[in-house]
Chain A
Amino acid sequence: MKILISNQSELPIYAQIKEQIKEQILNGQIQEGTELPSIRKLAKELGVSVITTTRAYNDLEEEGFITSMQGKGSMVLSKENELLKEKYLLRIEDGMEIAVETAKRIGMKEEELVDLLHKLWEE
């Protein structure tokens, strides 16, 4: 896990933490079932307040990325869970939207794009 806090960022610190963990879960750098560092440990390591990390974890939990186990810490949830699935779907949609828009802009036909997708899938 990697978290880099910027004091110049327009995002509040809790949001920076949340976004960076989320990103790493979504792109697979943090595997499901991984135990995240405790709220207090994370705060200490990052040099931020406990309330800040608490809020980041709370938000991640609400959005279905992690679950906190009483007295144990937090764990990254399985991709099978509904909320998260939806997030993944959204991410795929976003990517595809860009692909489709770009294809249209250069006059690519639908079949050509699907072909390209097939090829990429095979790789």
Chain B
Amino acid sequence: MFVLPQHIGKVERNKTNKRREDRVHASTFMAICAVTGMDINMELLEVKGLTKRYKEFLLDDVTFSLPKGYIMGYVGQNGAGKTTTINCINQICNADGGTVYVNGRRYKENPIGYKEEIGFIGDESYFPKEMKISDVRSVQKTFYKSFQEGAFNEMVSRFQLPEKRRISEFSRGMKVKLMFAVALSRDTKLLILDEATNGLDPVIRSEVLKILQDYISDGERSILFSTHMLEDLEQIADYIVFIDQGKIIINEAKDDLLESYILIKGDKAELTPELRSRLIGIEKKEFGFEALIKSDEARYVPKGFVINNPSIDKIMIHLIRNRMEER
């Protein structure tokens, strides 16, 4: 649990070097492709300046991109704008500004192709309440050439979903499983999950994580995974985008994010103004305080403090606390 500040400093340096190299590689590759006229697209999902205005909420200039073959965790509090972003990507809602590219294409260029690339799993069952599994199957068959009925049936029986009952009578777990069966039984490039694992039991959740890793394993497909259940993401996410009050606050590779902060605990008496100015989201408790600090400022942490690697949860909590303090 304990990490010496020096060690973290070292890792940090290595990391920045590595990232710079990666960038060089990627840009050289892109240049080659540009010269040779190869049509490659490294980004499976690109969101640029997405804006959506509601009376009481503003999704403000949301920008991020997700390369092929990776999993992105889209995190934030309830009401931070996760679902609004996803609805705009899915074209269920109309954005007031900004552009979304799925596999290099905008919706307007090819609405049908755009939607065919996306597999969506929502936070609640999106099936019409009067439908049964047979109805869902026949809708899928009608609309998607790539629909694999065998694969769908296999999942339905593996998940033990009742064919005869109306979907509205299913348990929450069954509804989520059916959404997975629907989304995974055809060719898609981008899987979008909106709080899909909330309320699922741990066994199913770990099953879901496996399914997701399988999905990206050929390196051609990507997943956007919105959640506030961060333990799930802690393991498998490659990138973390953190949205708070409609604005993107963090957009980083998960490993880098986890290394860029450390979590310290110490005596309230030792909270000097100088230290205080560097701490992020100080949480005072009866017997001490807890706060984040940037890893590269670790040298300012006095001896005797407890130093931990933060979880994504902790990073989120302290960043939000920080924002509330600044008000």
Q: How far is the CA of A49 from the CA of B255 in the complex (A)?
A: 9
* Nearest-neighbor residue (CB-CB) of B259 within chain A: A12
Q: How far is the CA of A50 from the CA of B220 in the complex (A)?
A: 13
The contact string, 1 if C-beta is below 8 Å from chain B, for chain A 32-68, is 0000000011011001111110010010000000000
B253 with A43: CB separation less than 8 A: no
Q: How far is the CA of A79 from the CA of B201 in the complex (A)?
A: 48
Partner of A49, one of B3, B18, B218, B235: B235
Chain A's interface size range is: 10 to 19
Q: Is A123 an interface residue (CB 8 A)?
A: no
Q: Is B309 an interface residue (CB 8 A)?
A: yes
List, in ascending order, chain A residues with CB within 8 A of B237's CB: 49
Q: Is A115 an interface residue (CB 8 A)?
A: no
B258 with A12: CB separation less than 8 A: yes
Q: How far is the CA of A14 from the CA of B259 in the complex (A)?
A: 12
Q: How far is the CB of B106 from chain A (nearest CB, A)?
A: 27
A47 with B213: CB separation less than 8 A: yes
Q: How far is the CA of A10 from the CA of B236 in the complex (A)?
A: 19
List, in ascending order, chain A residues with CB within 8 A of B2's CB: 10
Partner of B69, one of A14, A15, A50, A52: A50
* Nearest-neighbor residue (CB-CB) of A39 within chain B: B219
Q: Is A70 an interface residue (CB 8 A)?
A: no
A47 with B236: CB separation less than 8 A: yes
Q: How far is the CA of A53 from the CA of B314 in the complex (A)?
A: 24
Chain B's interface size range is: 20 to 34
Q: Is B93 an interface residue (CB 8 A)?
A: no
Q: How far is the CA of A47 from the CA of B259 in the complex (A)?
A: 19
List, in ascending order, chain A residues with CB within 8 A of B219's CB: 40
Q: How far is the CA of A8 from the CA of B2 in the complex (A)?
A: 10
A55 with B18: CB separation less than 8 A: yes
List, in ascending order, chain A residues with CB within 8 A of B309's CB: 10, 12
List, in ascending order, chain B residues with CB within 8 A of A52's CB: 255
Q: How far is the CB of B291 from chain A (nearest CB, A)?
A: 20
List, in ascending order, chain B residues with CB within 8 A of A15's CB: 11
Partner of B235, one of A48, A51, A55: A48
Q: How far is the CA of A52 from the CA of B214 in the complex (A)?
A: 16
B255 with A47: CB separation less than 8 A: no
Given known A-B contacts A10-B309, A12-B11, A58-B18, A51 and B254 have beta carbons under 8 A apart:
yes
List, in ascending order, chain A residues with CB within 8 A of B218's CB: 40
A44 with B255: CB separation less than 8 A: no
List, in ascending order, chain A residues with CB within 8 A of B213's CB: 43-44, 47
List, in ascending order, chain B residues with CB within 8 A of A10's CB: 1-3, 309
Q: How far is the CB of B312 from chain A (nearest CB, A)?
A: 12
* Nearest-neighbor residue (CB-CB) of B253 within chain A: A51
Q: Is B250 an interface residue (CB 8 A)?
A: no
The contact string, 1 if C-beta is below 8 Å from chain A, for chain B 86-119, is 0000000000000000000000000000000000
Beyond the given pairs A40-B69, A47-B236, 12 more chain A to chain B contacts, judged by CB atoms under 8 angstroms and listed by A's residue number, are A10-B309, A12-B258, A12-B259, A13-B255, A15-B11, A44-B214, A49-B237, A50-B71, A51-B253, A52-B255, A55-B18, A55-B255
Q: Mind listing 28 A-B residue pairs with CB under 8 Å?
A: A8-B1, A10-B1, A10-B3, A12-B255, A12-B258, A12-B309, A13-B255, A14-B255, A40-B216, A41-B217, A43-B236, A44-B210, A44-B217, A47-B209, A47-B210, A47-B213, A47-B235, A47-B236, A48-B236, A49-B70, A49-B71, A49-B254, A49-B255, A50-B216, A50-B238, A51-B239, A51-B253, A52-B255
